[in-house]
Amino acid sequence: MNASYRELTLTTDEHFVDFIADFVMTLFDDAIEIDKTRIIIRSEQDLSRIQEAVATLVDSLDGAIVVDMTLEEKKNIDWIKQYQDSIQPIDTGNFYIHPSWFEPKKEKINIQIDPALAFGSGHHATTFTCLESIAERVKNGDRIIDVGCGSGILGLACAKLGAKVDLCDTDPLSVESCKDNFALNGAHYEHLWEGSAAKAQGAYDVVIANIIADVLRFIALDLKKLVNPGGLVILSGILDTKEELVHPSFSDLVLIEKKQKDEWVTLIYQKEING
């Protein structure tokens, strides 16, 4: 252990803390700490890359979210244990997302995510409503792709339901985190790659993309090409102020459900069989 470590503190409105935390956890494969208005990231490595990525995300949201960032060097402590003491499991739909020091629930579909990986995490409204949608609509044997998979939690949920799962992310740390989390849960995926949805082969019964509205608009054509007639596209990561910007890019699909939790919207579209 080094004598010092770096600590990056991100402070934002309490409504956006989980959204920013979920984004950070697609980039960072070690423990983080979350409280009401702050995300605290600690590492013996340089954290400037994380700081720059968050700044880029905030800029892309056109002022919808303000994040104050402070990067400091501090005397070393055991921040993994601090994080373990603070984290709590999540119940959503049929799923129970928990770290290894909590016992699984027999009556639930258990997904284990440990903080030394990326606890990505079920706490944020978009992940929560995606998991609800998966529990309601994904069936055994469905072919699924999770685009922008992050920690892999959504793909894991599909795999636990018996789906055949492909996953992709443009960030290499997310791909490694996803591999680790599938192994931790004894779950299986068909294909996992670093890169975009454009590299996918064949078509899917359900296409899932929990990203942000501007990216969803940019990759809309790729997502729509991937879904089978009669299949579903589950979109999330959408601020309610950005929802109307997303609909035109998917207007050739049928909107069958909208879920909203806090300021965040999940949209479920269906591709018409004769469309």
Confidence of residue 217 (pLDDT cuts 50, 70, 90): very high
- For the cut 70, the answer to whether the pLDDT of residue 88 exceeds it is yes
pLDDT for position 224: 96
- For the cut 80, the answer to whether the pLDDT of residue 85 exceeds it is no
What residue spans define the domains of the chain?
Answer: 4-85, 122-270
pLDDT for position 62: 83
Q: 271 or 83, which is more confident?
A: 271
Per the CB < 8 A criterion, the answer to whether 169 and 150 are in contact is yes
Mean pLDDT over the full length of the chain: 87
In the three-class reduction of DSSP (H, G, I as helix; E, B as strand; rest coil), residue 50 is classed as helix
Taking residue 184's Cβ as centre, other Cβ atoms within 10 Å add up to 16
pLDDT for position 265: 93
Query: Can you spell out the DSSP letters for 185-201?
Result: TT---SEEEES-GGG--
4-85: what CATH class?
Answer: alpha beta
pLDDT for position 119: 37
Confidence of residue 116 (pLDDT cuts 50, 70, 90): very low
pLDDT for position 2: 67
113-122 mean pLDDT: 52
Tens of pLDDT, residue by residue over 185-208, are: 999 999 999 999 999 999 999 999
Could you tell me which of 217, 208, 197, 213 has the C-alpha nearest to residue 265? 213
Q: Just give the CATH number of 122-270.
A: 3.40.50.150
pLDDT for position 169: 93
pLDDT for position 30: 67
- For the cut 60, the answer to whether the pLDDT of residue 1 exceeds it is no
User: Please, what's the largest Cα pairwise distance for the chain?
Assistant: 64
pLDDT for position 115: 57
pLDDT for position 83: 62
pLDDT for position 151: 85
174-185 mean pLDDT: 91
- For the cut 50, the answer to whether the pLDDT of residue 120 exceeds it is no
Could you tell me which of 158, 156, 204, 147 has the C-alpha nearest to residue 178? 156
Per the CB < 8 A criterion, the answer to whether 137 and 227 are in contact is no
- For the cut 50, the answer to whether the pLDDT of residue 130 exceeds it is yes
56-71 mean pLDDT: 90
pLDDT for position 275: 55
Q: 119 or 268, which is more confident?
A: 268
- For the cut 50, the answer to whether the pLDDT of residue 117 exceeds it is no
Min mean pLDDT across 87-91, 195-199, 222-226 is at 87-91
